[in-house]
């Protein structure tokens, strides 16, 4: 165990160290982050980049009295290590272990739960103003990345914060990266600020009595060229009502600590909201991550001495890769197709599409609402937008989905990745709700492919509709079904019978078809691959209802309001009354962990499905496990 780090059980211990001890502590901390992430997997580059900032913040601010609000929260491993969770880092993102994101129920130092981006300024402003109303002198500090800063919500918060006088500090952690290289005009603007750093240093840092000029950054040198001739009259953030300080080197404790002390002093003297621009490097201190921060954004386990290695035999293609290939193939066939991602190019499998069709690829930044309405505008003019978006992030664009897309019945495809449980990221990222939140919207259809082949086929079907269609598929690989090369679709709104049995009919929506088939084998039950949660295949449903005593619906989505609920509603409307068991995600948030184990825990593996059916329909099933005479 490292010498200094082992003495830090809480930030109070850190604050007892001398200034000279902070540099070696930061080095030990960085090594601890690298070693533990290499064993568990997790977000690496962002955490390596926030080591010094974390040390400085806990050193200068009186945490947990002062509130640190980390945006996204994927950069909080150093914070976790310094706030009493050092010895639990080996459990990170595993079942029963600590979360990869801040959690209020995990630590009093985690002041605000996050994982979706761009909430920190709003939350910190709320905390700062609550403190003011209660007559408390605590500070609230939002730490937000340059990627997260691109979201509308961050600007809504700045707009509000600039006219309020709480003890609010916003720190922009600018590493010139989102998950992928950053995009958009704000990024260009930040580059200009960086290149004009001497101007900023003289105007602002000097004003706050910082001793010594900040060192010249490598990055700034690169950007200087780009912004030659630019004059920065007053920063955007000053226009918003903040006192702008920076940019300063976020790895230089000798700059960070006095600057933070000065800013805290300004807050205590009623100077109003403060904005500190800190420049860091994603992957700092680990050469491989510095060279490729994208690959090391969220790696699996690896040997730090070797780095990430490609598996000897290529693994089964993931659903994401199947989508990426379909997108390229369909784009080649249809010149009207355009692909849109809100800052998730790699995660959504769009790297190849970007390379092959740069003019038809749009990374709009972390801006899900805008992504949806921007796509709606494209659709109005006859383009065929494909919005590739994680199920959990489409939640951000819900009003846009209803008001801008569905109400106008615009044809477009939502490629909904990460539908169902995602594993290590946990409840914040689970795609648990999309069937429920989409199926109540008129004009919207929802396809639930059961394997890789159907994913491609149903994407094609969706692309040819004249209304919005979501195709939902999970994280990772499926059963390994051979994916056809053709772009032929499957019939719209139609499912199929996959197994003929009797007594019990299982209606499977999506990839849980496969454990459902295994359970049906043991039960002698029938299985329908429903393929569409909306519209339901009513012919198939009627046939299944009439030829069986009971129905079981299975889906990797919330039971409440999900596909099973759709089946119940349809049966009622048809005047068909029969017992229905709905299997899906329960009405609770499912924590992080291995996805297969999580599914088993909620009874959605083959054994769980079989056992739930046996339990509920013991009267239909014979004692031996066979079935009583079918109705
Ligand atoms: C609403 C939302 N959209 C997308 C994401 C996925 N995401 C997580 S981190 C990240 C990049 C954030 O960039 P930045 O804030 O600059 O932090 P960095 O990764 O550079 O440390 C993205 C797009 C998210 N967490 N939340
Ligand atoms: C923090 C965040 O939102 C992303 O980094 C997310 O963890 C990526 O998830 P995937 O690994 O499923 O792409
Ligand atoms: Mg960044």
Kindly report the protein residue whose alpha carbon is nearest to atom 21 of ligand 1: 46
Answer whether 190 contacts ligand 1 (Cβ < 6 A): no
Mean pLDDT, residues 349-359: 98
Give the residue, out of 100, 300, 429, with the most ligand 2 atoms within 8 A of its beta carbon, to mutate for a pocket test.
429
Q: Per-residue pLDDT for 107 more than 70?
A: yes
Q: How confident is the model at residue 439 (pLDDT cuts 50, 70, 90)?
A: very high
Q: Per-residue pLDDT for 352 more than 70?
A: yes
Nearest ligand to the CA of 45 is 1
Q: Would you state the pLDDT for residue 197?
A: 52
Mean pLDDT, residues 466-475: 98
Q: Which CATH code, of 2.60.40.60, 3.40.1410.10, 3.40.190.10, 3.40.50.970, is assigned to 43-68+112-291?
A: 3.40.50.970
Binding-site residue numbers for Mg(2+) are 146, 175
Answer whether 177 contacts ligand 1 (Cβ < 6 A): yes
Please report, rounded to a whole number, the percentage of residues in the chain having pLDDT higher than 90. Answer: 89
Name the more confident of 122 and 215: 122
> 368, 454, 591, 610: which is the annotated catalytic residue?
368
Q: Per-residue pLDDT for 86 more than 70?
A: yes
**Could you identify the atom of ligand 1 that is nearest to the CA of residue 178?**
13
Answer whether 347 contacts ligand 2 (Cβ < 6 A): yes
Q: What is the pLDDT of residues 546-573, one digit of tens each?
A: 999 999 999 999 999 999 999 999 999 9
3-state secondary structure at position 323: helix
Q: Would you state the pLDDT for residue 312?
A: 86
Q: From CA 288, how far away is CA 5, in angstroms rounded?
A: 24
Q: Would you state the pLDDT for residue 313?
A: 85
Q: From CA 82, how far away is CA 89, in angstroms rounded?
A: 11
Q: Would you state the pLDDT for residue 198?
A: 39
Nearest ligand to the CA of 294 is 1
Ranges assigned E (strand) in 227-342: 243-249, 274-279, 337-341
Give the residue, out of 178, 179, 282, 419, with the most ligand 2 atoms within 8 A of its beta carbon, to mutate for a pocket test.
179
Give the residue, out of 295, 396, 425, with the most ligand 2 atoms within 8 A of its beta carbon, to mutate for a pocket test.
425
- For 3-54, give the DSSP string: TTGGG-SSHHHHHTS-HHHHHHHHHHHHHHHHHHHHHH----HHHHHTHHHH
Q: Would you state the pLDDT for residue 476?
A: 96
Q: What is the dihedral sign for C-alpha 158, 162, 166, 167?
A: positive
Answer whether 147 contacts ligand 1 (Cβ < 6 A): yes
396 is catalytic: yes
Ligand 2: centre distance to CA 298 (Å): 7
Torsion of CA 418, 421, 424, 429, to 10 degrees: 60
Nearest ligand to the CA of 363 is 1
Q: Outline which parts of the chain fall under CATH 3.40.50.920.
A: 496-616
Give the residue, out of 298, 394, 592, with the most ligand 2 atoms within 8 A of its beta carbon, to mutate for a pocket test.
298
End-to-end CA distance of the chain: 68
Ligand 2: centre distance to CA 113 (Å): 16
**Could you identify the atom of ligand 1 that is nearest to the CA of residue 50?**
21
Ligand 2: centre distance to CA 119 (Å): 16
If you average pLDDT over every residue of the chain, what do you get? Answer: 93
Q: What is the pLDDT of residues 148-175, one digit of tens each?
A: 999 999 999 999 999 998 999 999 999 9
Answer whether 425 contacts ligand 2 (Cβ < 6 A): yes
Q: Would you state the pLDDT for residue 234?
A: 77
Kindly report the protein residue whose alpha carbon is nearest to atom 6 of ligand 2: 425
Answer whether 116 contacts ligand 2 (Cβ < 6 A): no
Ligand 1: centre distance to CA 177 (Å): 9
Q: How confident is the model at residue 593 (pLDDT cuts 50, 70, 90)?
A: very high
Ligand 2: centre distance to CA 179 (Å): 9
Q: Would you state the pLDDT for residue 208?
A: 44
Answer whether 80 contacts ligand 2 (Cβ < 6 A): no
Please report, rounded to a whole number, the percentage of residues in the chain having pLDDT higher than 70. Answer: 92
Q: Is the peptide bond before 535 cis (omega within 30 degrees of 0)?
A: yes
Backbone angles phi, psi at 122, to 5 degrees: -60, -50
Phi-psi region of 347 (alpha: psi -120 to 50; beta: other; left: phi over 0): alpha
Q: From CA 176, how far away is CA 197, in angstroms rounded?
A: 15
3-state secondary structure at position 100: coil
- Three-state SS string over 192-247 comes to HHHHCHHHHHHHHHHHHCCCCCCCCCHHHHHHHHHCCCCCCCCCHHHHCCCEEEEE
User: Is 1.10.150.80 the CATH classification of the domain at 319-472?
Assistant: no
Q: What is the pLDDT of residues 2-24, one digit of tens each?
A: 699 999 999 999 999 999 999 99
Q: From CA 344, how far away is CA 294, in angstroms rounded?
A: 11
Q: Any idea what DSSP says for residue 429?
A: G
> 282, 384, 456, 534: which is the annotated catalytic residue?
282
Q: How confident is the model at residue 233 (pLDDT cuts 50, 70, 90)?
A: low
Q: From CA 516, how far away is CA 554, in angstroms rounded?
A: 7
Q: Would you state the pLDDT for residue 196?
A: 62
Q: What is the pLDDT of residues 249-283, one digit of tens each?
A: 999 999 999 999 999 999 999 999 999 999 999 99
Q: What is the pTM of this model?
A: 0.94
Answer whether 475 contacts ligand 2 (Cβ < 6 A): yes
Q: Any idea what DSSP says for residue 627?
A: B
282 is catalytic: yes
Q: Per-residue pLDDT for 448 more than 90?
A: yes
Q: Outline which parts of the chain fall under CATH 3.40.50.970.
A: 43-68+112-291, 319-472
Ligand 2: centre distance to CA 450 (Å): 23
Q: Would you state the pLDDT for residue 219?
A: 39
Mean pLDDT, residues 303-310: 96
3-state secondary structure at position 112: coil
- For 355-371, give the DSSP string: HH-GGGEEE--S-HHHH
Kindly report the protein residue whose alpha carbon is nearest to atom 22 of ligand 1: 179
Is-contact 383 408, C-beta < 8 A?
A: no
Q: Would you state the pLDDT for residue 452?
A: 98
Nearest ligand to the CA of 343 is 1
User: Crossing angle, helix 452-463 and helix 319-333, to 10 degrees?
Assistant: 40
Name the more confident of 621 and 521: 521
Answer whether 93 contacts ligand 2 (Cβ < 6 A): no
Least confident of 284-288, 609-613, 627-631: 627-631
Q: Per-residue pLDDT for 626 more than 70?
A: no
Predicted complex ipTM: 0.99
Q: What is the pLDDT of residues 185-226, one digit of tens each?
A: 999 999 888 876 534 443 444 444 333 333 433 334 434 433
Q: Per-residue pLDDT for 232 more than 50?
A: no
Q: What is the dihedral sign for C-alpha 224, 230, 233, 238?
A: negative
Mean pLDDT, residues 392-404: 98
Residue 362's contacts (CB-CB under 8 Å, 6 or more residues apart) are 338, 339, 340, 341, 374
Ranges assigned E (strand) in 465-591: 469-472, 496-499, 504-509, 526-529, 532-534, 550-558, 580-585
Say which CATH class 496-616 falls into. alpha beta
Ligand 3: centre distance to CA 22 (Å): 24
């Amino acid at each position: 165990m490292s010498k200094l780090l082992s003495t830090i059980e809480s930030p109070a211990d850190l604050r007892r160290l001398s200034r000279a001890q902070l540099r070696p502590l930061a080095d030990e901390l960085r090594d601890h982050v690298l070693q533990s992430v290499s064993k568990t997997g997790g977000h690496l580059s962002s955490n390596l980049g926030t080591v010094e900032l974390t040390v400085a913040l806990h050193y200068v601010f009186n945490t947990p009295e002062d509130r640190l609000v980390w945006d996204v929260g994927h950069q909080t491993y150093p914070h976790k290590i310094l706030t009493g969770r050092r010895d639990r880092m080996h459990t990170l993102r595993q079942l029963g272990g600590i979360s990869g994101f801040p959690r209020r129920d995990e630590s009093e130092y985690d002041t605000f739960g996050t994982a979706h981006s761009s909430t920190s300024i709003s939350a910190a402003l709320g905390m700062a103003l609550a403190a003011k109303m209660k007559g408390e002198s605590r500070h609230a500090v939002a730490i937000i990345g340059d990627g997260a800063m691109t979201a509308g919500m961050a600007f809504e918060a700045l707009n509000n914060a600039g006219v309020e006088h709480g003890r609010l500090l916003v720190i922009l952690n600018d590493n010139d990266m989102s998950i992928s290289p950053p995009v958009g005009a704000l990024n260009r603007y930040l580059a200009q600020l960086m290149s004009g750093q001497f101007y900023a240093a003289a105007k602002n840092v000097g004003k706050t009595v910082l001793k010594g000029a900040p060192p010249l950054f490598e990055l700034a040198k690169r950007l200087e060229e780009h912004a030659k001739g630019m004059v920065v009259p007053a920063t955007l953030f000053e226009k918003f009502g903040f006192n702008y300080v920076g940019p300063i080197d976020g790895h230089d404790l000798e700059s960070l600590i006095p600057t933070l002390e000065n800013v805290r002093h300004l807050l205590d003297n009623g100077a109003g909201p403060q904005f500190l621009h800190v420049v860091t490097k994603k992957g700092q201190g680990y050469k491989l991550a510095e060279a490729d921060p994208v690959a090391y954004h969220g790696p699996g386990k690896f040997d730090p001495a070797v780095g990430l290695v490609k598996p000897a035999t290529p693994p089964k293609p993931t659903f994401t890769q199947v989508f990426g290939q379909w997108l390229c193939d369909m784009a080649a066939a249809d010149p009207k197709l355009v692909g849109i991602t809100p800052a998730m190019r790699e995660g959504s499998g769009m790297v190849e599409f970007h390379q092959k069709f740069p003019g038809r690829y749009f990374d709009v930044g972390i801006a899900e609402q805008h992504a949806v309405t921007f796509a709606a505008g494209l659709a109005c003019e006859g383009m065929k937008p494909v919005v590739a978006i994680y199920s959990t992030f489409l939640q951000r664009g819900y009003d846009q989905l209803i008001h801008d897309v569905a109400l106008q019945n615009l044809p477009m495809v939502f490629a909904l990745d990460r539908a169902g449980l995602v594993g290590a990221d946990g409840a914040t990222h689970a795609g648990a709700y999309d069937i429920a939140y989409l199926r109540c919207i008129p004009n919207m259809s929802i396809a639930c492919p059961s394997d890789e082949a159907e994913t491609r086929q149903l994407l094609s079907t969706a692309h040819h509709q004249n209304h919005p269609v979501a195709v939902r598929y999970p994280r990772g690989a499926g059963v390994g079904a051979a994916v056809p090369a053709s772009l032929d679709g499957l019939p719209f709104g139609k499912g199929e019978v996959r197994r003929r049995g009797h007594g019990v009919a299982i209606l499977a929506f999506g990839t849980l078809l496969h454990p459902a088939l295994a359970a049906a084998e043991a039960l002698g039950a029938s299985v329908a691959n429903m393929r569409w949660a909306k519209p339901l295949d009513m012919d198939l449903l009627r046939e299944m209802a009439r030829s069986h005593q009971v129905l079981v619906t299975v889906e990797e989505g919330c039971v409440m309001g999900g596909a099973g609920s759709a089946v119940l509603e349809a049966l009622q409307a048809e005047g068909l009354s029969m017992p229905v068991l709905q299997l899906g995600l329960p009405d609770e948030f499912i924590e992080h962990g291995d996805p297969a184990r999580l599914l088993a825990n909620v009874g959605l593996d083959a054994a769980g499905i079989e056992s739930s059916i046996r339990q509920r329909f013991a009267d239909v099933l014979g004692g031996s496990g066979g079935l009583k005479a079918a109705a």
